[in-house]
Amino acid sequence: MENSKQMRTWLDDLGLDHPLVIAGPCSAETEDQVLKIAHELKDTDVNYFRAGIWKPRTRPGNFEGVGALGLKWLQKVKEETGLKTATEVANRAHVELALEHDIDLLWIGARSTVSPFIVQEIADALQGTDQIVLVKNPVNPDLSLWLGAVERLSTANIKKLGVIHRGFSTYEKSKYRNIPEWQLPIELQTKFPDLPIINDPSHITGNRDMIFDVSQTALDLNFDGLIIETHYDPDNAWSDAAQQVTPRVLIQIMKDLQIRKESNEEAEYKNQLSNLRAQIDIIDSQLIDALGKRMKISDGIGTLKKQKNVAVLQSNRWNQILGAMILEGESKGLSEEFVLRLFKAIHQESINHQEKIING
């Protein structure tokens, strides 16, 4: 990871005047389907045509990809449209077949990133090649595991590296398919600013109607590109139907996205300001989410107090919380006055919730 500056050169060498765009169907289904989508993406801002050839499914019995046959279809895409090609690999055999079929970009999926054994096998298979390799974040929010996969590839002397942020699994109900946990890719950017980072709004949202907003947030945070699943008939796609957009919609998304280019000191200032504000927006959303969860717990406490005929206000408990939060706040650079005002407001809202239940 010491030579992260070298990793950036493959992206710089593309000479793009817009973020990198990787697009195509979640799964290669038929030769006609692959070629039809590719031709609709020809002569657009799409740089790499992606298609899943091997599909790791959570449970057996679902469509698991067409296999190596689909690699020949990707070769035809390159021959007929000039688009470079990309696909996911999960073992040595996948890598060897992809290289044989001249696939330009490979990525390691979230389920593979969690296994150092799988990543090492892929790194060994790629050693000595000039291949572009992107690493998706692991299923769980573990930055060390994510970076560890990149380091294994870097140790195998693979120079053209990058990462894909596709969100993280959660048991909690959420509007996202995979929670973005934006603070993790932000931390990764801070530690390795020259390691290209691509956002995957398709897997984060699981909902085509949210693709644009997540893509814009990623660009506001200075991500280097997007990987978006695209199908000419999304509702009838063989996998991940709800999160795929049509090529026409994708082209419109690319037109509507605001891309902040650095051209002078004023532009640089505005770019940095937009980035910091985007980070604040993310944290504010997390604060509201956390407060909502806190009030649901207060509702549970109110129900329990009603059953046991216990008073809402418990002064000793309140004083303990306040004292602890003042000390915690001081350690984070927050004034005692601010912490008092904040937690008095939270406490009052909690009382309101519990009184509503008890008096209801």
Q: How far apart are CA 193 and CA 197, in angstroms?
A: 9
Q: How far apart are CA 205 and CA 210, in angstroms?
A: 6
**What is the rounded average pLDDT of the residues 249-269?**
81
Residue 350 structure tokens: 């909690």
Percentage of residues of the chain with pLDDT beyond 90: 62
**What is the rounded average pLDDT of the residues 38-42?**
98
CATH 3.20.20.70 range(s) for the chain read 4-259
Percentage of residues of the chain with pLDDT beyond 70: 95
**What is the rounded average pLDDT of the residues 247-254?**
97
Q: What local confidence, expressed as pLDDT, does residue 245 receive? A: 98
Residue 249 structure tokens: 């919609």
User: Helices in 57-168 by DSSP H: which ranges?
Assistant: 69-81, 92-100, 110-113, 116-126, 143-155
Q: What local confidence, expressed as pLDDT, does residue 131 receive? A: 96
- Pick the range with the lowest mean pLDDT from 49-53, 130-134, 318-322: 318-322
Instruction: Give 93's strand partners.
Output: none
φ/ψ of 233, rounded to 5, equals: -140, 70
Q: What local confidence, expressed as pLDDT, does residue 6 receive? A: 53
Instruction: List all residues 6 or more positions away from 41 whose beta carbon is below 8 Å from its beta carbon.
Output: 23, 24, 49, 81, 83, 230, 247, 250
Residue 58 structure tokens: 């959570």
Q: What local confidence, expressed as pLDDT, does residue 320 receive? A: 87
Higher pLDDT, 312 or 143: 143
User: Helices in the chain by DSSP H: which ranges?
Assistant: 4-12, 31-41, 69-81, 92-100, 110-113, 116-126, 143-155, 183-191, 201-205, 211-220, 247-256, 265-308, 315-331, 336-359
Specify the CATH architecture of the domain 4-259: Alpha-Beta Barrel (3.20)
Q: What local confidence, expressed as pLDDT, does residue 262 receive? A: 55
Max CA-CA distance within the chain?
Answer: 76
pLDDT in tens, 181-217: 999 999 998 889 889 999 999 999 999 999 999 999 9
CATH 1.20.59.10 range(s) for the chain read 267-359
Instruction: List all residues 6 or more positions away from 53 whose beta carbon is below 8 Å from its beta carbon.
Output: 28, 65, 66, 67, 68, 70, 71, 74, 87, 88, 94
Pick the CATH number of 267-359 from 1.20.59.10, 2.40.50.180, 1.10.645.10, 1.20.1560.10: 1.20.59.10
